[in-house]
Amino acid sequence: MSDNPQPNLMNMPEFFLKSILKKLDVQSIQTMRKVSPIFRYYVDHSRLDSSILKVSVFLQSPDKIFLDLKITNDLYEIEYQKNGDDGCFVQYRNKRKEVTGQNIATTLGHDLGLILKKQLSVVKEFSLMCNEKCLTTICDQFVRALSAQLAERESPLKLKTLSWEGSIDEGQIMPLLSRFDPIHINKIELQRLNKNSVLRPLIGVEEIMNSPQWRRIKTFEAVGFVVANQMRHFTHLTCANFLIETVTTQDIMTLRQIALQTTKFNEFSFSYVNFTDETQFFRIFGQPHRAEDMKNKWFYRYPGGRDALLVIWETNCFKFAHIQPRFFDKFGVPKHDLVVL
């Protein structure tokens, strides 16, 4: 009788085990962790990739929250339901698991953290949507659990877009934003839940704008609140849409100068509450090329090229747009009458 053990997963050479695990999906990898301490150690310490493209978290209520994970050819939709004072059910397709001693928000944060700890490739978007009923406790618990798991990664998570819909609370946003690799993040979207669409609160986001992640982004959108920060915090952006408290003529002059320095500039729109020196604007900025339909328009040629920069000023709103020649007719750009600065 041979003394050689029968081949099985427990004594399989590491090369073959790694090859097998690379072919598993997110759910299967997490299942493998539960097979034995050896497998759990191998999964946690090997360089596997969860291959998540998009993460969507919906904190619907204190009793029910959802997690969607998008990969190349599939979508994992996971539901967390409250069970008693300190427990929950986790449901995925036709399977249901009971978790005791841990609330639904912490369970979700812990589970998602374990998955993202194995994420090597770039996540295209992380989206969090938080119902008003979950703005405090549920959101805090989820962020705390997820942030703790991400802190154990060997390197920051590579993310392109952070989309946050709920309360604009830096105490909730920053613990996650700080875990994302500044090199890869490109866009931040902030949308504040507001029952009254007319009344928009004034909010300053100093911590976010002083972060290394903010200095790397190129696109920013803010909905439902007035940004209290100064315009200088936004001039590195190539695409934007927000409402700011105060703007000056010098701010507009600076934006025009920066926009004309690179053809990577796209579309920069902002509304404002106060224009401190509006009465002096035309004298300093220059008279519009065209005024129609309550809109003042300026057209500038990009240095050394054929593209145009369009500046529009209408009621409490400015828009800067980079226009290529093939779109001149659409935007009414005068082909042979562009201002050169």
Render pLDDT for 277-336 as a digit per residue (tens, 0 to 9).
999 999 999 999 987 777 899 999 999 889 999 999 999 999 999 999 999 999 999 988
The partner residues of 229 in beta bridges, in order of sequence, read: none
* Cα diameter, the chain: 99
Instruction: Write down the number of H helices and E strands in the chain.
Output: 11, 17
Render pLDDT for 171-224 as a digit per residue (tens, 0 to 9).
999 999 999 999 999 999 999 987 555 678 999 999 999 999 999 999 999 999
pLDDT at 73: 84
Percent of the chain with pLDDT over 70: 84
As a whole number of angstroms, the distance between CA 140 and CA 58 comes to 14
As a whole number of angstroms, the distance between CA 202 and CA 321 comes to 27
Q: Is 56 exposed, middle or buried (0-12, 13-18, 19+ CB in 10 A)?
A: middle
Coil, helix or strand for 337? coil
Angle between the N-to-C axes of helices 26-33 and 104-117, in degrees from 0 to 180, rounded to the nearest 10:
100
User: Poorest-confidence range of 90-94, 156-160, 175-179, 197-201?
Assistant: 197-201
Show the CA angle centred on residue 231, arms to residues 225 and 232, nearest 5°.
Answer: 140
User: Poorest-confidence range of 34-43, 153-162, 248-257?
Assistant: 34-43
Residue 307: HSE in the Cβ half-sphere, 13 Å Cα cutoff: 16
**φ/ψ of residue 283, rounded to 5:** -65, -35
Is the pLDDT confidence value at 7 over 70?
Answer: no
pTM: 0.85
- Torsion, Cα of 234, 236, 239, 243 (10° steps): 10
Helices (H), 126-221: 137-150, 170-177, 206-209, 212-216
